[in-house]
Amino acid sequence: MEPILEVKDLTKKFPQQGKGDFLAVDHISFRLDRGETLGVVGESGSGKTTLAKLVCRLTEPTKGSIRLWGQDITKAKGKQLRKTYQNIQMVFQDPVSSFDPRQTLGAGIGEYLRNAGIAKGEVQARVTKLLEQCGLEAEFARRYPHEVSGGQCQRAAIARALAVKPEILICDEATSALDVTVQRQIMELLWQLRDSQGISYLFICHNLALVQAFCHRVLVMRQGKIVEEGTADEVILHPKTEYARILADSVMETELLVGEP
């Protein structure tokens, strides 16, 4: 299969006061095939969010390259970057803070549509359709981010990311802030989108049970490096490193709570 996304030697150094630079992402390389779901697991602070933001070009990489459909987007700017965002979208870890507190959810989704060249009169109908696709009533378009629950806000965030029909969706712990039932609803939504639209996911999560159920392949990150890589079953059921084994222990505890695909 052809890789839709190819990342090579991606590195991000944050300058630290006093001490030397802090390597948040350390020479990471991976590829994502079309329709594939790649899980990224790792403890808190291992650089998962930084990696996701690097791939979307929301932070500037220190080194390395990102290729989308074979085209280098590492230095993309302005128009090219905006075009890239028609293909790559991201769902943030904290849904509420990913919406402007002074705008309604509908306005936030509308911004994506208007920039994508949808006519003004058509925007509202499209917003309604997107919200319904994610299981929210049209009425939610008029609500402010602080007026909806975390799960509803996350659905709106997913609806927003889907507005431009991306080929790659990066989910940064899209379900971590939510309780188990809502988590399950969101996962069902993501599943359904994968089946119906063939979206490829970069699925960041620290819940290995979810990862095992949802992902084809898994990267295990620790301190900015990939320490283990393989199919979901390999990594979770037969971990090669001690670190992956410790992470895998959490599966047993939460297995029962997660639905089957």
Ligand X SMILES: Nc1ncnc2c1ncn2[C@@H]1O[C@H](COP(=O)(O)OP(=O)(O)OP(=O)(O)O)[C@@H](O)[C@H]1O
C-alpha 31: how far from its chain's center?
15
- Please tell me whether residue 48 binds ligand X under the rule CB under 6 A: yes
Q: How far is the CB of 179 from ligand X (least distance, A)?
A: 18
Q: Is position 49 an interface residue for Mg ion (rule: CB under 5 A)?
A: yes
**Binding test (CB under 8 A) with another protein, winner from 89, 128, 183, 185:** 89
> Any contact of residue 46 with ligand X (CB under 6 A)?
yes
Q: Which two tokens stand for residue 113?
A: 């549509």
Return d(Cα 28, Cα 64) in angstroms, integer.
8
Counting contacts by CB under 6 A, is residue 69 touching ligand X? no
Query: Counting contacts by CB under 5 A, is residue 175 touching Mg ion?
Result: no
Question: Which residues within the stretch 9-38 sit at the binding site for ligand X (CB under 6 A)?
Answer: 14, 22, 24
Binding string to another protein for residues 197 to 226, with x set by CB under 8 A, is what? ------------------------------
Nearer to ligand X, 28 or 158 (CB): 28
CA dihedral 12, 33, 187, 159 (to 10 degrees): 80
Q: What's the distance, CA 6 to chain centroid?
A: 16
- Indicate the DSSP class of residue 17: S
* Stretch binding ligand X (CB under 6 A), from 40-48, 100-108, 127-135, 155-163: 40-48
**232, 39 contact by CB (below 8 A):** yes
Instruction: Give the number of other Cβ atoms within 10 Å of residue 228's Cβ.
Output: 19
Binding track, positions 104-143, relative to ligand X; x by CB under 6 A? ----------------------------------------
Give the count of beta carbons closer than 10 Å to the beta carbon of residue 38.
24
Cβ at position 20, least distance to ligand X in Å:
13
35 token code pair: 């329709």
